[in-house]
Structure 1
Amino acid sequence: MNVPKLRRSFSFTRLLRHGRSEVRRSLQARTVALTVILTLAVAIVLSMVSMVSVRVSLLTQITSQSRADYSNMIQQAQTSLDAADVSATVQIQQLANDLASTLQSDGASNLVGVYLWSRDTSSPRSIIPVSTEPSYEPLISDDMRSAVASDVNENVFYQPVDLTLESGMAGIPGMPGGGTPGAVLGTTLEFGVAGNLEFFAIYSYTLQQQSLTQIQLNLVAICVLLSIMVGVVMWLVIRGIVRPIERVASAAEVLASGELDTRVAVDRKDEIGVLQHSFNTMADSLNQKIDELEEASASQKRFVSDVSHELRTPVTTMRMASDLLEMKKDDFDPSAKRTVELLAGQINRFQDMLADLLEISRYDAGYAALDLVETDLREPVSTAADQVAGIAQAKQVPIHLYLPNVQVLTRIDSRRVIRIVRNLLANAVDFAEDRPVEVRIAANRKAVAISVRDYGVGIAEDKISHVFDRFWRGDPSRSRVTGGTGLGLSISMTDALLHHGIIRVRSELGEGTWFLVLLPRDPDQGEVADADLPVDFASAKPDDLRITGGFGVAESHVAGAQESRRDTVDSMMGRPL
């Protein structure tokens, strides 16, 4: 039976990475993490100081106990030696052996071993060295033995040692473990028969070391638990501060999305409560300002609409008078004739401006509607080109039409599409600088694209986002005689949006400007995704003139040759595109 391997569900690296991310993006997590780290650091420092103090205290205490016990053993041993009545060497050796055993058994619980040997080893009555624990005898250093051997005042010598066992002794029951601190104490005992004896005792501090270890573990646990408790407390405290702020931030996002009635509950009296109250006050003020601006905007729109309508009658009268003067201008002197021509031109421009203002007012009032009819898209494009042909010829700018050689049937409002293309062509001719303007059509099953491209001065990158703004002019220094009203491209964009389409533009200084009018084949089906467009710009950069897709097979025509183009189309056979 094959048992599938379980994937490791825990990864310290992934946990650390997630923790870092949480600390970077969350004030609450960052504050708690910093507090826990500082608490842990302080606790560790205090624990280390406490451990040093406790260690010194324990060593001082156990050292005093060891010295006291060793003093008792010295008295006991000296009493036994003074009371002994021995003369033979065997008796002296037996006495030393019995004395070491007695001292070992009567000594303190941490006594490891007792060691006796004669100071003068050359004496015939010197004893064989006696030790109750031979394995620790190497801990008695030569310096210690020399100090005891040369002492004449019966002083007690003390030397701390490390009770490290040899590997062969590791299994002896009751023996202290390696690295355990201990001490060696030594002095001289008077024994008249055999001469003075050197007396050493080794004490182990195993219990004290275990106590220190247990204290260290307890302090570590206390530090960890204290840090966790402080972290939990800080989390709860910061959470109580952050959650109301999060609610205010969430309300601000909702308010920014357009829900102007959004408010937060004022449920506190501290600084957070001041923030909640300030947010509600700000929202009320903002709502009031928006209402005032909307009312001012509506009043302005009504004013523009009313003025535009009221001006139509006097402008019509002026137009009639101008036409009458235009019919008789040949009878006037040259100065009066030029005045009549200028008057007619300005009245025409005034009428165009009124028409644009009326159209804008209809958009603003929501009265604009489409009159959709299935139409060959080539017809409104050609009509718009013919309407601009006169201006183009006057400025010596050729308009080249590259239209498909088959019908491009599309449900559109022809009047609005003609206006879109006418405005784009007029703008292109105005900036073409005697270079040609190209018009193309691309189509697929879902959408159509009308391309208007000039090779003139181009538009600066910082200005291209304003080309569809109302009353914006690409070159403010241009004369108002030749310049437009600044509403044409804005009206064109609105006409495209009514078709659920869009107009996109790219431009580069010295390379010209390129407009793409992207419309669905059937506006009732809604907008068309960018991926379904027959042609589009390759990137979002405002100065990138590269495109994706293509315009297919097309016929070349020159604006103004309307009849010849129709004759050519009528003579060709082909199914609609």
Structure 2
Amino acid sequence: MNLRPRFSLKRLLRHGRAEVRRSLQARTVALTVILTLAVAIVFSGVSMVSVRASLLTQITSQSRADYSNMVQQAQTSLDAADVSTAVQIQQLVNDLASSLQSEGSSNLIGVYLWSRDTNSRAIIPVSTEPSYQSLISDDIRSSVASDLDDSVFYQPVEIPGDSGMPGSGTPAAVLGTVLDFGVAGNLEFFAIYSYTFQQQSLTQIQLSLVVICALLSIVVGVVIWLVIRGIVRPIERVAAASETLASGNLDMRVTVDRKDELGVLQQSFNTMADALNQKIDELEEASVFQKRFVSDVSHELRTPVTTMRMASDLLEMKKDGFDPSTKRTVELLAGQISRFQDMLADLLEISRYDAGYAALDLVETDLCEPIETAVDQVDGIAQAKRVPIHTYLPNVQVLTRIDSRRVIRIVRNLLANAVDFAEDRPIEVRVAANRKAVAISVRDYGVGIDEDKVAHVFDRFWRGDLSRSRVTGGTGLGLSIAMTDALLHHGSIRVRSAVGEGTWFLVLLPRDPDQGEVADAELPVNFASETPDDLRVTGGFGVATSQVTHDYHEVRRDTMMGRPL
């Protein structure tokens, strides 16, 4: 059985608010319709007040005129009457009331006559519509009874409706005066006029204005919708083209189909796209030339640097026979040539990455072996800086398909960077592994890196502190090369750092790069959040298999002393 969703005004309003918030077109239409409706309501209200006042003035004037004619007619009839007995007088008054009722205006609903004086010749009160006699209030009767100038008194009243509620009836008016009837004394003459027709006309006008306001708002809303749609649609096409262009499709263009300001926008977008495409081509060409220049220079410099290295080695062998000043010069020369060779090696490696020639030589290897090799290679630098390196390795093999040469370089570069900033505090190297991935942790407790600089640590030629004395003499390429080596393994390197607490690198590699990247949820250890200075991690260090978790044995290397503890 299919259940149709029930209509919900609350859900409709919530959807409408959401649409107004997210859509300029809907927001403009809604605002225009509301303003149009508000103006129409105000205009209708003012018009209704004016029409009501005009109708009231008109019908009051008509009622007064009709009543004045009836008073004149009645007075004439009374003056011309030749009656003497009470029966004749009563008959005359009865006939007069009937005559006035029949000859009065269409909205006359009742005529009332009764004696002003109470004497033997007083007549019986006459009324053509007794049911409305209660509308003649004591106030107007008192006013008419006390009048001596034959004035006409007017009082607005309301004929009760069927519900009996105030305001639900029909407006009416009571007019009263005194007629001079010499035989029977003065007569009080009242007439009640109904404004039913005028009230119906006013109601019809109100309904017409409501319909006109609603139709006007709908028409204005539709017109504004069409107008805004004609403006928004071209802008949406330009925005969609911008997203496509940003995604890498540099051939994306928009059709220029207008001659107004939107046409200028379309043409400007195409001009911008052409200029951007041209600039990207120029930058790519310049980048190719730059990479080729770096590669060519690096290759060309290898031969003279090798010759210089040979000459330096020869001088090194004979430096003991030189005077102290020359001996120091030879030592400085050897150090700078070594640094130059390292720089050339890094530049050549970068050029191979850029040229797309870098490839992995994957061999199943115990991950602990390249880590220990990298630690041994950094021992000398750590001794010079008096920084202890502590390694905590699993007591079982962690067999992983890796390119050992690149993993050694990754760990070595991370350790060299840590030594530069450890400031005599220890560096810890740990390993975590599961069936999918391995993680190599390198953490120092040194000065740390500012939060806004952490994102740049893998940029080429970037250094965290240019004023710091660097024993390693790095080029600013080490961490960039380490990241590239990790990416070649379909892995990554993640870093967190806090000033005064140190820096923590996690090298995350799949156990089999041919299987592709490993999802974060399947990593043995990872940082707990994306915050650059949050040093908390999830997971644990160790080797987890499907059956058992192996504990650590501890291999601590104190490079200050140069021997294992």
Q: Is the 8 A contact 2:388 2:558 kept in 1?
A: no
Equivalent pairs, count:
554
How far apart, CA to CA, are the structure 1 residues paired with 2:195 and 2:375?
108
1:331 aligns with 2:327: no
- 1:97 is aligned to 94
- 2:132 is aligned to 136
Residue range with higher mean Cα deviation, 366-375 or 462-471: 462-471
Gaps of 5+ in 2: 543-550
How far apart, CA to CA, are the structure 2 residues paired with 1:5 and 1:505?
54
- 2:546 is aligned to none
Give runs of aligned pairs for residues 407-446 of structure 1, distance below 5 A: 407-446=397-436
State, as a whole percentage, how many aligned pairs show the same letter: 83
- 1:355 is aligned to 345
User: Secondary structure, in 3 states, of the residue corresponding to 1:202?
Assistant: strand
Residue range with higher mean Cα deviation, 92-101 or 481-490: 92-101
Q: Is the 8 A contact 1:389 1:559 kept in 2?
A: no
1:270 aligns with 2:260: yes
- 2:59 is aligned to 62
Question: Given the alignment, which residue of 97, 108, 115 partners 1:118?
Answer: 115
- 2:224 is aligned to 234
How far apart, CA to CA, are the structure 2 residues paired with 1:559 and 1:254?
54
- 2:143 is aligned to 147
Q: Deviations over 1:456-513 (max 9, x none)?
A: 2211212211111111112201346643111111100000000000001111222211
How far apart, CA to CA, are the structure 2 residues paired with 1:56 and 1:551?
91
- 1:568 is aligned to none
Give runs of aligned pairs for residues 478-497 of structure 1, distance below 5 A: 478-479=468-469, 482-497=472-487
Output the amino acid matched with 1:19. Answer: G
How far apart, CA to CA, are the structure 2 residues paired with 1:299 and 1:229?
63
Question: Given the alignment, which residue of 355, 368, 372 partners 2:362?
Answer: 372
- 2:545 is aligned to none
- Structure 1 residue 165: Cα displacement: 5.9
Quick one: structure 1 residues 501 and 443, their matched pair in 2 at CA, closer, same or farther if it must change by over 3 Å? same
Question: Given the alignment, which residue of 317, 338, 345 partners 2:335?
Answer: 345
- Structure 1 residue 152: Cα displacement: 4.3
Quick one: structure 1 residues 6 and 361, their matched pair in 2 at CA, closer, same or farther if it must change by over 3 Å? closer
Q: Deviations over 1:240-262 (max 9, x none)?
A: 11111111111111111111111
Normalising by structure 2, we get a TM-score of 0.93
How far apart, CA to CA, are the structure 2 residues paired with 1:55 and 1:91?
46
- Structure 1 residue 531: Cα displacement: 0.4
- 2:506 is aligned to 516
Normalising by structure 1, we get a TM-score of 0.91
- Structure 1 residue 177: Cα displacement: 9.2
- 2:383 is aligned to 393
- 1:32 is aligned to 29
Output the amino acid matched with 1:16. Answer: L
Quick one: structure 1 residues 153 and 436, their matched pair in 2 at CA, closer, same or farther if it must change by over 3 Å? closer
- Structure 1 residue 127: Cα displacement: 0.9
Q: Is the 8 A contact 2:158 2:169 kept in 1?
A: yes
Please give the root-mean-square deviation of Cα atoms over the aligned residues, in Å.
2.4
How far apart, CA to CA, are the structure 2 residues paired with 1:106 and 1:472?
110
- Structure 1 residue 549: Cα displacement: 0.8
- 2:156 is aligned to 160
Quick one: structure 1 residues 369 and 67, their matched pair in 2 at CA, closer, same or farther if it must change by over 3 Å? same
1:464 aligns with 2:461: no
How far apart, CA to CA, are the structure 2 residues paired with 1:132 and 1:550?
106
Q: Is the 8 A contact 2:294 2:347 kept in 1?
A: yes
Give runs of aligned pairs for residues 470-549 of structure 1, distance below 5 A: 470-479=460-469, 482-549=472-539
Give runs of aligned pairs for residues 65-84 of structure 1, distance below 5 A: 65-84=62-81
How far apart, CA to CA, are the structure 1 residues paired with 2:556 and 2:168?
106
Residue range with higher mean Cα deviation, 110-119 or 494-503: 110-119
Q: Deviations over 1:313-360 (max 9, x none)?
A: 001111111111112222222222222211111111111110000000
1:557 aligns with 2:555: yes
Q: Is the 8 A contact 1:163 1:177 kept in 2?
A: no
- 1:249 is aligned to 239
Residue range with higher mean Cα deviation, 140-149 or 485-494: 140-149
Q: Is the 8 A contact 1:398 1:558 kept in 2?
A: no
Quick one: structure 1 residues 34 and 178, their matched pair in 2 at CA, closer, same or farther if it must change by over 3 Å? closer
How far apart, CA to CA, are the structure 1 residues paired with 2:297 and 2:97?
128
Q: Is the 8 A contact 2:381 2:472 kept in 1?
A: no
Gaps of 5+ in 1: 171-175, 566-577
How far apart, CA to CA, are the structure 2 residues paired with 1:4 and 1:332?
101
- Structure 1 residue 5: Cα displacement: 9.6
How far apart, CA to CA, are the structure 2 residues paired with 1:395 and 1:47?
89
Q: Is the 8 A contact 2:390 2:558 kept in 1?
A: no
User: Secondary structure, in 3 states, of the residue corresponding to 1:462?
Assistant: helix
Residue range with higher mean Cα deviation, 228-237 or 147-156: 147-156
Residue range with higher mean Cα deviation, 292-301 or 334-343: 334-343
Output the amino acid matched with 2:135. Answer: L
User: Secondary structure, in 3 states, of the residue corresponding to 2:354?
Assistant: helix
1:191 aligns with 2:181: yes
1:292 aligns with 2:275: no
1:223 aligns with 2:213: yes
Quick one: structure 1 residues 452 and 204, their matched pair in 2 at CA, closer, same or farther if it must change by over 3 Å? same
Give runs of aligned pairs for residues 172-183 of structure 1, distance below 5 A: 178-183=168-173
- Structure 1 residue 268: Cα displacement: 0.7
Q: Is the 8 A contact 1:382 1:559 kept in 2?
A: no
